[in-house]
Chains A and B, each alone.
Chain A
Amino acid sequence: MSIAEAQVEAEIETFDDKDPWYSVALDLIKRKPLGAAGAFVVMLMILMALFAELIAPYDPELNNYEFMLVGPDWSFLLGTDQFGRDIFSRIVYGARTALFVGFVSAFVGSVIGLILGVSSAYFGGKFDLVFQRVMDVFMSFPLIILALAVVSIFGTGIQNVIIAITIPFIPRCARVVRSNALAVREIPYIDAARACGYSHTRIILKHMVPNVMAPYLIMFTSFVGQAILLEASLSYLGLGVQEPIPAWGLMLQGGAEEFAESAPWIPIFPGVAISLAVFGFNLFGDAVRDVLDPKLRSR
């Protein structure tokens, strides 16, 4: 091999089919340590949610008045709350609530935002103008105020919380997706597809949507984190999921402040759980964005 060829060979990073999965994983960890940490936390949360029955030692909703306000020890890993419920079990089951609400609202919100944003960019003209104004109106409400308004109308409970969290996400996703879709719209093959007689629906779904996957995925991962936080905030205010469903925000509500001095483990651990989950999702989303956005790669 000549020197030039050898240099080119050395620069190209390829993964042969023979490379075992763990070396690919190790390489990813080396190149993006923060993203790998985020992915690890995300997987941990998903495992906790899926296998909650196997992991949690106690029933999260069982009141056990013999053991109220016990500190962390070997029988109650993270202590108990004022009703005698084991905090560790509640946190593990709470992962299920948090991830369920987070994923569903992020997914539904981002998908609706995706379709609306792409359609708006595709059709353009008056539809786009009107749509933009409507989105502006929705976006001028801070997240929590819109969610509060929806919860006041439809009531509390887990379904309404999901609806309340989904609605503010739609215009935000639509905005970002629309600006990317506008660029895609200018590419000639969209006009060519129209000239071939393809229907609008087909062009939008088959040609435009796949090209805006990058910003969509970024929005989606950031929404999951925000959804978990929003659900926690709503539950903290008493307007989210209700007792006795284990939810991290709910665990911080009410009693947590009263017992903050005497039983600090009650407010501390659910908060750690929330922070860790959102942290993990954000890091993961950042890594996804860095991989998909060529401008930000390091020199």
Chain B
Amino acid sequence: MYNYILKRILLMIPTLLGAAFLVFFLLRLIPGDVCELRLAGTGLYVDPEEIKLCREKLGLEKPMFMQFIDFLIGIVTFDLGESMWTGKPIMYEMGLRFELSLQIAIMATITSILIAIPLGTISAIKQDTWIDYIVRSFSIAGIAIPSFWYGILIILGLLIFTQSWFGEPWMPPLDYVPIWVDPWRNLSQLIWPALATGYRYSAVATRMTRSAMLEVLREDYIRTARAKGLLEKIIINRHALKNSLLPVVTVIGIEFAFLMGGLVVTEQVFNLNGLGKLFVESVMSSDYAMTQALVMVVVMIFVFTNFLVDIMYAWLDPRIRYA
């Protein structure tokens, strides 16, 4: 088991290095200079001397290789420097938004689990009946409906609904309050994007649950259990469900990693100040430092979550350890 863990940890390192390399050089290819954008904000002529000073201050005049080493050192020591656009420390900027993204990610994951597992199980048990078709259509609709459109519909629906019921249209609050400060306000803001995102991600998990259950239900031990005369309900709950949850757990883990930085569009719709919005802003303003840092954080979360999922998978299914 420890060999497996060690191998997995070692495999993480080249992936992270490769991602850092890719991010670094990809960003340098983007046309646009952050110093020019910052200093020429009002469209006036900018002195080339000033641009040069600004670039030196931000460390952009050093050779590429040195900049890359600085970047790597920064990642390892958790000191990612300052944002080139706002000048504030990057950790501070990210910290503000990290909480929000994390909360949405957790709520969306819980929503998707609550939807996916029961629906996937029912769909597998009643394969090819009308219930199966309805559940499959419902879950494919989750993938098909663009999340931003869904968000617009939710806000529209809320406005119309509250208007007709309470006489006054109500929109979710626009500013973020942490959950321990004012839980009601916090939840009333974040439940809607969590629902929209959770529905979308439940689709993948539902299909995974369904196909895993289908395979498990054909196993011999299930047939034996039926031959023994166990109630179908007990067979499903005690035997089939546990064995089919394995690939589902993998999928949910991977989706959680994506939720952290990939909610760019949803945040735009609901006007949330999260990591996705920060990413778009920093790309637009050619803020290399921020963009690199953000992408590295997202990639690190992804790689680490994958690692945890692999370990859990190996722990739950001993056959994997020897592969």
Q: Interface residues, chain A, CB within 8 Å of chain B?
A: 33-34, 133-134, 136-138, 140-145, 148-149, 152-153, 225, 229, 232-233, 236-237, 249, 252, 256-257, 260-261, 264, 267-268, 270-271, 274-279, 282-283, 286, 295-296, 298-299
Query: Is B148's CB within 8 Å of the partner chain A?
Result: yes
Contact pick for A140, options B15, B148, B149, B153, CB 8 Å: B15
Contact pick for A279, options B26, B141, B280, CB 8 Å: B141
Give the distance in Å from the alpha carbon of A267 to the alpha carbon of B279 in the complex: 26
- By the criterion CB–CB under 8 Å, are B15 and A142 in contact? no
Query: Is B30's CB within 8 Å of the partner chain A?
Result: yes
Q: Can you list 26 residue pairs at the A/B interface with Cβ under 8 Å? A: A133-B15, A140-B15, A142-B262, A144-B265, A145-B262, A145-B264, A145-B295, A148-B264, A148-B279, A149-B26, A149-B30, A225-B144, A232-B146, A233-B264, A237-B280, A257-B269, A260-B155, A264-B156, A267-B149, A271-B146, A275-B145, A278-B144, A283-B140, A286-B140, A296-B214, A298-B128
- By the criterion CB–CB under 8 Å, are A34 and B136 in contact? yes
Q: Interface residues, chain B, CB within 8 Å of chain A?
A: 14-15, 18-19, 22, 26-27, 29-31, 127-128, 133, 136-137, 140-141, 143-146, 148-149, 152-153, 155-156, 159, 211, 214-215, 218, 258, 261-262, 264-265, 268-269, 279-280, 283-284, 295, 298-299, 302-303, 306
- By the criterion CB–CB under 8 Å, are B265 and A236 in contact? yes
- By the criterion CB–CB under 8 Å, are A261 and B156 in contact? yes
Task: Provide the residues of chain A in CB contact with B258, threshold 8 Å.
Answer: 142
- By the criterion CB–CB under 8 Å, are B149 and A252 in contact? yes
- By the criterion CB–CB under 8 Å, are A271 and B145 in contact? yes
Give the distance in Å from the alpha carbon of A283 to the alpha carbon of B207 in the complex: 12
Task: Provide the residues of chain A in CB contact with B140, threshold 8 Å.
Answer: 279, 282-283, 286
- By the criterion CB–CB under 8 Å, are A274 and B149 in contact? yes
Give the distance in Å from the alpha carbon of A237 to the alpha carbon of B269 in the complex: 10
Task: Provide the residues of chain A in CB contact with B156, threshold 8 Å.
Answer: 260-261, 264, 267
- By the criterion CB–CB under 8 Å, are B133 and A275 in contact? no
Task: Provide the residues of chain A in CB contact with B149, threshold 8 Å.
Answer: 252, 267, 270-271, 274-275
Task: Provide the residues of chain B in CB contact with A237, threshold 8 Å.
Answer: 264-265, 268, 280
A275 to chain B, nearest CB (A): 5
A100 to chain B, nearest CB (A): 18
Task: Provide the residues of chain A in CB contact with B211, threshold 8 Å.
Answer: 296
